[in-house]
Amino acid sequence: MFVLLCSGVMETKNDQALVGVQNYLERAAERLKPSAPIKFHISSRTDAGVHALANAAHLDIQRPPGKAPFSSQQLVQGLNHHLRPEPIRILSAQRVSSTFHARFCALSRTYIYRLLLGCAHHSQIPVFEQDLCWAPAGGPLDVAAMREAAQFLLGTHDFSSFRSLHAEAAAQSPVRTLLQLQLQPAPGFLQQHYLHSGLEFWEVKVKSRSFLYRQVRRMVGALVAVGQGRLAPAQLRELLELRDPRAFPPHAMAPAAGLFLQRVEYSPEDLASPPAEEKLCGLS
H or E, element range at 223 = helix 215-227
Coil, helix or strand for 202? strand
Of the candidates 198, 6, 202, which has an alpha carbon nearest to the alpha carbon of residue 85? 6
**Residue set of the binding site:** 111
**Residue set of the binding site for substrate:** 111
Radius of gyration, alpha carbons of the chain? 21
- Judge if the upstream peptide bond of residue 85 is cis by omega within 30 degrees of 0: yes
Catalytic residue among 15, 47, 60, 131: 47
Please give the full DSSP string across 100-157, using - where no structure is assigned. Answer: --TTTT--EEEEEEEEEE--SSGGGS-GGGTTSSB--SSS---HHHHHHHHTTTSEEE
* 114 within 8 A of 258, measured Cβ to Cβ: yes
Q: Measure CA of the first residue to CA of the last residue in the chain; give whole Å.
A: 5
Question: Is 47 one of the annotated active-site residues of the chain?
Answer: yes
Catalytic residues: 47
